[in-house]
Amino acid sequence: MPCRGCFGPPSEVKDVGGKMISALASIVGLENEENMSDEDVEKLVNQIVDPAGYFYRFSLPTSLLRRKRMKT
């Protein structure tokens, strides 16, 4: 991926994509979110097109996602 001048990943973050997903989940904080149905939450999450591709766009090679392999 070509450089976009982001100055690289923060040194204190182990998994940039995971941190972004966590940050997004923490700010969803909708009023009455505890009263949301599973379907409402699913509709909200489905608005994010390709979350893995988006949140790991520049950091997938260093992410924790590639650390475990399943035996076939």
- Reported as type and span, the H/E element at residue 40 is helix 38-45
**What local confidence, expressed as pLDDT, does residue 25 receive?**
75
Helices and strands counted in the chain (H then E): 3, 0
pTM over cut 0.75:
no
Confidence check: pLDDT of 1 > 60: no
Who contacts 66 (Cβ-Cβ below 8 Å, separation ≥6)? 60
Read off the pLDDT of residues 59-68 as tens digits, 9 standing for 90 and up: 777 777 766 5
The domain spans of the chain are 16-63
